[in-house]
Structure 1
């Protein structure tokens, strides 16, 4: 019979383990409600050892937030193939997967938490928004966006954040419905802007040119026509 020997983790391995443990706990409860003792117990180490790798909960929270931010930013990545509406819908599905899995942590980040207001936290939040912004522009095949398009895309990203936070508060609207609605919101924002600007009009026509009859954008048009009839 052989006895298993626990391998001692290296410094970076232990840091990554603690970040993973903290993320798991933060996904269940607000970071304000998670103690260093709980993180240490979940990692199977002592409280002083946690402080050996991180000077305090704030630094551990920021490290966990950095990993979560990188994960969230990646949810907007999508192969630039096929209809735009379907691409946006898949991105929204992955976005809500993240929100669903990390609800309390997502709320703490956007509404308040131990690091909110710090320069590090603000930079991470901005990096996620910027990554989403750049991904949307890449799907639109636009490198130098005009002011109206920037307004549309950044407004839509803010709307997606607000929608996710409201959904977490009781989940009173079906998630799939909100995913579709956000894609419709993007098209609607672009359409309103196009009504005021020919450059946006040309972009909108290009957006919907190859949309299939059963796609999200066509679904929005059908719903609006039904309201008008």
Structure 2
């Protein structure tokens, strides 16, 4: 097709094209490793077009980061806002983060790069703090319901979000096991603690109930077995002779 017949992109279409190209390059090479020349070349435009839309690669990078932060915050917030019990909310929140990592890998790679945004707006740390702030209210209600001090909700929210996010970073490179299994195991640890881990964590509440019933039956059998062993041990013990009792004086 000749240039005369090729449809000219509108300003909005060109902007989206540049954002897509920049997003892929920033994910692969970071801000320092990406140049305006390379962005322009891939878009088949001149450098001034990039400057016209974003003022430079830094402006393009900032828009990409803002979009990714909005996407992940929207997903996690929607998960935590569902009408469900507290454990289910945590499961859905973990799944939302893992789904974002799996389906928006380039975006997540950009967000975990803190070298240019530092501790301020737009950094991965600030993103996690925003998510934690939305989790804090949920945890505060649960802590109060369980009789614990809800003043610690902010700290627990940071712990929980950090655990899920760091697990997500690790999972980004392995993609095994499945994201549903990763979410189930993360919530298993967060909800039950190391002392009461479930053997086969799952996101399915019906399967979880069956596993709980099986675990309780095993515990009952173990307790019954231990009780029978104690009874057998007692029966094997020799009888102790009774002490002589002095006759009563008349």
- Equivalent residue for 1:99? 101
> Does structure 2 conserve the Cα–Cα contact (< 8 Å) formed by 1:92 and 1:179?
yes
* Deviation, structure 1 residue 4: 5.8
Question: Does residue 165 of structure 2 align to residue 161 of structure 1?
Answer: yes
> Does structure 2 conserve the Cα–Cα contact (< 8 Å) formed by 1:80 and 1:139?
no
Question: Does residue 30 of structure 2 align to residue 31 of structure 1?
Answer: yes
Secondary structure of 1:81's match? Answer: coil
* Aligned positions of 1:70-219 closer than 5 A: 70-76=70-76, 77-78=78-79, 79-113=81-115, 115-117=116-118, 119-122=120-123, 125-126=125-126, 128-139=127-138, 142=141, 146-188=150-192, 212-215=205-208
Secondary structure of 1:45's match? Answer: coil
Give 5+ residue unaligned stretches, structure 2: 197-203, 223-250
Partners of 2:190 and 2:95 in 1: how far apart?
15
> Does structure 1 conserve the Cα–Cα contact (< 8 Å) formed by 2:72 and 2:97?
yes
Question: Does residue 8 of structure 2 align to residue 6 of structure 1?
Answer: yes
CA shift in 2, pair 1:60/1:214, >3 Å: same
Partners of 1:37 and 1:225 in 2: how far apart?
65
- Equivalent residue for 1:66? 66
* Deviation, structure 1 residue 177: 1.8
Partners of 2:91 and 2:8 in 1: how far apart?
45
* Deviation, structure 1 residue 46: 1.7
* TM-score, normalising length: structure 2: 0.62
* Deviation, structure 1 residue 72: 0.9
After TM superposition, the structure 1 stretch with the greater mean CA deviation from structure 2, 218-227 or 35-44, is 218-227
* Deviation, structure 1 residue 140: 5.2
Secondary structure of 1:90's match? Answer: helix
CA shift in 2, pair 1:118/1:59, >3 Å: farther
Secondary structure of 1:142's match? Answer: helix
* Deviation, structure 1 residue 151: 1.8
Partners of 1:148 and 1:138 in 2: how far apart?
11
> Does structure 2 conserve the Cα–Cα contact (< 8 Å) formed by 1:40 and 1:50?
yes
Partners of 1:72 and 1:112 in 2: how far apart?
17
- Cα-to-partner distance string for 1:92-141 (whole Å, 9 max, x where unaligned): 2221122123435524532544x24263433x741x32442243345457
- Equivalent residue for 1:47? 47
> Does structure 1 conserve the Cα–Cα contact (< 8 Å) formed by 2:30 and 2:113?
no
* TM-score, normalising length: structure 1: 0.67
Question: Which is bigger in relative contact order (C-alpha 8 A, separation at least 6)?
Answer: 1
After TM superposition, the structure 1 stretch with the greater mean CA deviation from structure 2, 162-171 or 75-84, is 75-84
RMSD: 3.9
Give 5+ residue unaligned stretches, structure 1: 193-210
